Amino acid sequence: MKNIFNYIERESPIHELTGATKLICLVLFSVGGMITFDTRYVACLAIIALLLFRISKIRLNEVSILLKFTLFFMVFNNLVLFVFSPQYGVEIYGTKHVLFGSGRFTVTAEQLFYHLNQMLKCLAMVPIVLLFVCTTNPSEFASSLNKVGVPYSVSYSVALALRYIPDIQLEYHDISRAQQARGIEMSKKENLIKRLKAAAEILIPLILSSMDRIETVSNAMELRGFGKNKKRTWYTANRFRAADIAAIVFCILLVAGAVAHNTLNGGRFWNPFTAG
Amino acid sequence: MKKFSVKTIVAIGIGAALFFVLGRFVAIPSPIPNTNISSQYGLLAFMAAVFGPLAGFLIGLIGHALIDFSWGGSFGGIWWSWVIASAVCGLIMGLASKKLDLSGGRFNGKDIVRFNVTQIIANIICWGGIAPALDVLIYHEPTEKLVAQGLMAGIGNIVTTAIIGTLLCLAYAKSRPQKGSLEEEKDA
Amino acid sequence: MEEVVLSFKDFGFKYNAQVEPTLYNIDLEVRRGEKILIAGPSGCGKSTLVHCINGLIPFSYKGEKTGSLTVKGKETSDMSMFELSKSIGTVLQDSDGQFVGLTVAEDIAFALENDCIGEPELHERVAEVADLVSIGDHLGKSPAQLSGGQKQRVSLAGVMVDNVDIFLFDEPLANLDPATGKQAVELIDEIQRETGSAVIIVEHRLEDVLWRHVDRVVLMNDGRIVSNSTPDELLSGDLLRRYGIREPLYITALKYAGIQIRPEMQPWSIRSIELSDSDRAKVCQWFARHSESEEKTPSEALLSARNICFGYDADHRIINDISADIRREELTAIVGTNGAGKSTFAKLICGFETQNSGDFFFRETDLKNLSIKERADHIGYVMQNPNQMISKVMIFDEVALGLRKRGVPEEEIKKRVERVLEICGLKPFRKWPVSALSFGQKKRVTIASILVLEPEIIILDEPTAGQDYRHYTEIMEFLLELKQRGITIVLITHDMHLMLEYAERTIVFTNGQIIADDTGYAVLTDREIIEKASLKETSLYSLAEKCGIGDARAFVRSFIEYERKVFRE
């Protein structure tokens, strides 16, 4: 309950980068992963992601629960993909190499290759997000946002969200138990409409008391001069170093690489079936 | 960008925290096995109706992004397409705020219709349009699957918001001092 | 004479939304280095006065003002909120609301950040101020890792960074346990001495604030200042009683003994008061006249806890091997510091959390097999803040909720709800919306909504927190009535008066264990327990010592019994 965002304090080159750098890199990396489906490129991304993960000194067992979710999600999502469009691979690659089976669910090499692509993407993206979450100190995150151009008012909203999540979580826990004691239930025993009404009965006290909280907190902030100037400084601000610039340049190159790939391949997919 | 009042800034922060807690910990089982109903969209509609479209946009954006981050990207990274859809949903829902006066204690029959028409339009645009369109672009998954996913989410959110959102608005409006009939004590 | 830093001249204020003004004809001057206590019952206008001083009025709450209010000679209506915040540092009652940073250091730095103070000054100032309030070792901690007292230190540091001229404390003791409250009063005193600023404390717990000297006490009622004098003068009169503020207990005891309190006795504190030989003799005589009393035989146990252990993780136990009995038709108080495990214990009883080991028995039934809802048929739980329980718009529906969820026929619901509303004194309001009620009445609604399920035990978390003496008495007398109707009551509380006056039995928690289970007077006259559990010795005990009464415990008991008699008449 304490550390919902899983920040793990440690000394590593990744930890030392500013939160802003890491956020920019995360976005660039995501863009790189989004715009191309070239298997070779995505495989490279996955390898880079895993390498970075090693450098961060985060141990696998520290994030094992999350990785189990990933595994579950990957299998589930691919099953759904297959059930919905078992011939999607054929559509994309334009050839049909039947491996086995017949009818709608004929398994083709193209479809399997498409699934491989999807899984590789997952393998490239998951470590990067994990890395961001585990190595970014929540305290520094808001100041980072401000540094990359987000107005400080919005950055502070993010800081406030992080600040009050644990309080609200506790309050929700207490309120929902006290309401359960009075007999409000959201379990499957009731029909959907009743369940939603029950949810509202639990949420009403939580949200009304949050509205009071908004008033108290904004009073407290105003009394201490929030919003006085066009800028504000941050206690947790981190200075940009050479490594930050290097990391961002590296990620820009990655994106450029992806764009180049797409242009050379003449599409977002690399097609081994017609190439060979 | 328009300058926010301190109260709106705090409302965005606390609204996002509530969105997060509801999305992450409030599990209302849905009729479809292994899926839960997202009660946070009822909250989003309510907050947007009180604090306006920009607040709605940011609550959806920050709240949803934080939920994805807290899963450590374990569902295949951050689903930026859905994060953006949540944000736009908050934005459109907030358009109703101009005609509503929840803080003034008013939420009559006409307002209920206004609130719900807006939320239905918002949900259709976001989950039937924006989310699948972005998904096709970003993830290149089959359109049928994405539209089915979006429709499921959209219908779920419309029903949730119609019930939870409307009840929240009613309760909040009733909790506000009614114009002209104020309580005597301001202290306590 | 020192410079006047704050001055009200024939000041009045009316909220836009209200018909009548909230403040009338306020005349008040505060000088540099002065320490002033503002007291008064709920609704007397003291919160409005606080808002006028720190600028929330008129910047956040709109209304009309009359007369003049100046800070350091400057009319506040000519100042911006930010300018005003440079002179006046407000410490709010809700320390979680005031704590806006993610960590201690960030919160202290907040005002400096808003002023665009850069490095290295920012870090230096924070470290310096943190040391002044001795929180320097906790700079990286989040609010969840701090105690109530530590959070308050952070709040104080957060306004001290601005070098303000006036410190304004809004009910600083409301959420603190007794010993922490005492430390807070000491800290405020120290800070004032070091900074030389003026201090204004708004608080209705007079005796607790007077643990350290204050220069003047301003008494308010109905939006007016009714008295502005030294504490010695105030305590010598009978204004406190007239306006529903609780007198320090030793003063009441001396008055019972027929002693006339005079300012030259220095009655502001039990340590300073000078009693003549004849005064002491009078107290002893009073004690001799009122010392007989009957001991009640304890009734049988209704709820038993056996070897309860609980913790979220293995190495940190919140509840450590607790065994206790709650006896039928008794009023039991559970006391101890914040985080000692009191609330957790209550939640375990109700099934909100599940113990790692140990058992609860209700009569002969093992609670283990009962769901939260089933337990609630026997044991009701009332949360501290009524707003956290109310989810219906109308009072009737709110009270009926539990019955409707249990499928009771509507006709019977009507009967039962009306009966409960009658008991709770809410019958005239049954068709009202909940929002039209005062805080105390809302509390009654939540108690009614639990009572309607006809539990045999009701557990209340801090039922009187933040209530003035009149509301406190109302709530407690109501609970006594319930007890006479055969309901067993358990209270979790920080209020030493409450446990002395109303509880038959007191269970003392420290670090997840029970260190005492006895009468209130026995607990509050035992120095070792007091220290271990961060309680506060009652001034009656010191009075007994001062008068050479050997059996202090019996003296305290006689006083309480006598006071109840006086109260009933």
Residue B1 within a domain: no
- Rounded to an integer, the average pLDDT of B22-26 is 89
Higher pLDDT, C233 or C440: C233
CB contact under 8 A, C82 and A201: no
Using the Cβ of C380 and the Cβ atoms of chain A, whether some distance falls under 8 Å is answered with: yes
Cα–Cα distance between C127 and C108 in angstroms, integer? Answer: 9
Higher pLDDT, C120 or C432: C120
Sole residue written with tokens 């965005």? B12
Reference C334, options C202, C123, C492; nearest CA is C492
Tens of pLDDT, residue by residue over C417-436, are: 999 998 888 888 888 888 77
What's the gap in Å between the CA of B160 and the closest CA on chain A?
7
Q: Check if the beta carbon of residue C245 is closer than 8 Å to that of residue C40.
A: yes
- Rounded to an integer, the average pLDDT of A42-49 is 88
Q: Give SS3 for B140.
A: coil
Q: Considering CB atoms only, which of B174, B179, B185 is closest to C438? A: B185
pLDDT at C314 over 80: no
- Rounded to an integer, the average pLDDT of C447-463 is 92
Q: Which chains touch A (3 or more CB pairs under 8 A)?
A: B, C
pLDDT at C276 over 80: yes
At B9 the pLDDT is 96
Reference C38, options C202, C231, C246, C223; nearest CA is C202
At C450 the pLDDT is 92
Strand intervals (E) in C328-418: 331-336, 357-362, 365-366, 379-382
pTM: 0.91
Residue B125 within a domain: yes
What is this model's ipTM?
Answer: 0.89
At C149 the pLDDT is 87
CB contact under 8 A, C387 and A201: no
Residue B93 within a domain: yes
CATH number at residue B64: 1.10.1760.20
Residue B186 within a domain: no
Structural domain that includes position B124: 6-178
Tokens of A57: 């000194």
Residue B185 within a domain: no
Q: Check if the beta carbon of residue B16 is closer than 8 Å to that of residue B64.
A: no
- Rounded to an integer, the average pLDDT of B14-39 is 83
At A45 the pLDDT is 87
Cα–Cα distance between B28 and C336 in angstroms, integer? Answer: 37
Q: Check if the beta carbon of residue A213 is closer than 8 Å to that of residue C97.
A: yes
Residue B100 within a domain: yes
What's the gap in Å between the CA of A208 and the closest CA on chain B?
7
- For residue B33, name the pLDDT band (cuts at 50, 70, 90): low
Q: Considering CB atoms only, which of A30, A164, A169 is closest to B14? A: A164
Tens of pLDDT, residue by residue over C337-373, are: 877 889 899 999 999 999 999 999 998 889 988 889 8
At C176 the pLDDT is 85
At A151 the pLDDT is 93
| DSSP output for C421-479 | HHHTT-GGGTTSBGGGS-HHHHHHHHHHHHHTT--SEEEEESTTTT--HHHHHHHHHHH
Cα–Cα distance between A118 and C110 in angstroms, integer? Answer: 46
Sole residue written with tokens 């709770």? C424
Q: Which chains touch C (3 or more CB pairs under 8 A)?
A: A, B
Reference C373, options C408, C403, C417; nearest CA is C403
Cα–Cα distance between C197 and C165 in angstroms, integer? Answer: 5
Q: Check if the beta carbon of residue A140 is closer than 8 Å to that of residue A19.
A: yes
Q: Which residue of A has its CA nearest to C115?
A: A232
Percentage of chain C exceeding pLDDT 90: 58
**Domain boundaries defined on chain A:** 13-243
Least trusted range by pLDDT, from A33-37, C320-324, C554-558 = A33-37
Q: What domain count does chain B have? A: 1
CB contact under 8 A, C115 and A229: yes
